[in-house]
Structure 1
Amino acid sequence: MSVAIRAYHRDDAKGLADVFYEAIHTGAAKHYTPAQRQAWAPYTDMPDTWPGRLAVLNVWVAEADGEIAGFMAATPQGYIDFAYLRPRWMGRSVAQALYDVILERARSANLTRMTTHASLLARPFFARQGWQVDKMEIVDINGEQLKRFAMSLTLGAPHDPTL
């Protein structure tokens, strides 16, 4: 298996929406009830707001075996807003490859801290990368209560190339 990581293109939006839906409805099935998953990702079709939401983020796409296997997206300030994989690609180093690019970009931007809100499924992955849980939260999404974790990673002082 060969995984290629590339920058997001606007025409990827539909494919990423499909990954998002599949990751939540199938990949997170052991962690959230059907009602919670439906509240989290209620649409099988791409919402109209999806391309605009992705356009303001730094989005990285993983391709493997001719398909989009997953994606991660972060704000320029270091907030990881999306981290989703097709279930068949979980546990096959795709998330790690995406994360490595996001982390390298954060360090290149001299960020000293990164944050995210991790699901029950994503929390162990981030913990393995050295992230800490700052707070457990219960959030209301479309009338359903979902557990998530505010997490952070300290990257250290920015590198000064003049030293």
Structure 2
Amino acid sequence: MSVTTRAYHTDDAETLFAIFYEAIHDGASAHYSLAQRQAWAPGSTMPATWPDRLAALDVCVAQSDGEIAGFMAASLQGYIDFAFVRPRWMGRSVAQTLYDVILERARGANLTRMTTHASLLARPFFARQGWQVDEMEIVDINGEQLKRFAMSLTLGAPHEQTL
């Protein structure tokens, strides 16, 4: 099995929303209650705002065996807003492949720091990449309290240009 990455296309929006929904409802089921998962992703129908939210980010799509297996998206400032993998692809290098591309892009943009709000499921992944927990947070989402972690990674000083 090989995982490849590609740029996001607007016609991917519905598939990426389905992955987001599936990853929360199935993939995160050991970490969040049914009520918490329903609050986090209340409906399986893509909201009208979803394509615009993706369009504002640098989105990397992972494919394997002809299927979109996951996606990761970051802002130009280095905030990873989405990091989701289909549950059946978890543990098969999809997240790592996506992360490597996002990290390379951040370094290419001379960013010195990246940030995210990691779920209970995502926290160990980011910690293995060298990210630190800056703060544990409890956030209210649609009336449910969800635990998450503000995390960051220092990339170091941008490379100096030589003439």
Normalising by the smaller structure, the TM-score range is over 0.9
TM-score by length of 1: 0.99
Q: What amino acid is aligned across from residue 43 of structure 2 in structure 1?
A: Y
CA distance in 2, matches of 1:8, 1:48: 17
Taking only aligned residues, the RMSD between alpha carbons, in angstroms, comes to 0.7
Q: What amino acid is aligned across from residue 18 of structure 1 in structure 2?
A: A
SS in 1 for 2:146: strand
Which string of whole-angstrom CA distances, capped at 9 and with x for unpartnered residues, describes residues 57-108 of structure 1?
0000001111110000000000000000000111100000000000000000
Q: What amino acid is aligned across from residue 90 of structure 1 in structure 2?
A: M
Structure 2 match to 1:62: 62
CA distance in 2, matches of 1:138, 1:26: 21
SS in 1 for 2:159: coil
Q: How does 1:11-160 map to 2 (within 5 A)?
A: 11-160=11-160
Deviation at 1:161, TM superposition (A): 2.1
CA distance in 1, matches of 2:12, 2:37: 23
Q: What is the number of residues matched between the two proteins?
A: 163
5+ residue gaps, structure 1, are: none
CA distance in 2, matches of 1:22, 1:65: 19
Deviation at 1:156, TM superposition (A): 0.2
Which string of whole-angstrom CA distances, capped at 9 and with x for unpartnered residues, describes residues 93-143 of structure 1?
000000000000000000000000000000000000000000000000000
CA distance in 2, matches of 1:153, 1:138: 21
CA distance in 2, matches of 1:102, 1:48: 26
CA distance in 1, matches of 2:74, 2:45: 23
Q: Percent of aligned pairs with the same residue?
A: 80
CA distance in 2, matches of 1:52, 1:24: 21
Q: What amino acid is aligned across from residue 143 of structure 1 in structure 2?
A: G
SS in 2 for 1:139: strand
CA distance in 1, matches of 2:48, 2:16: 13
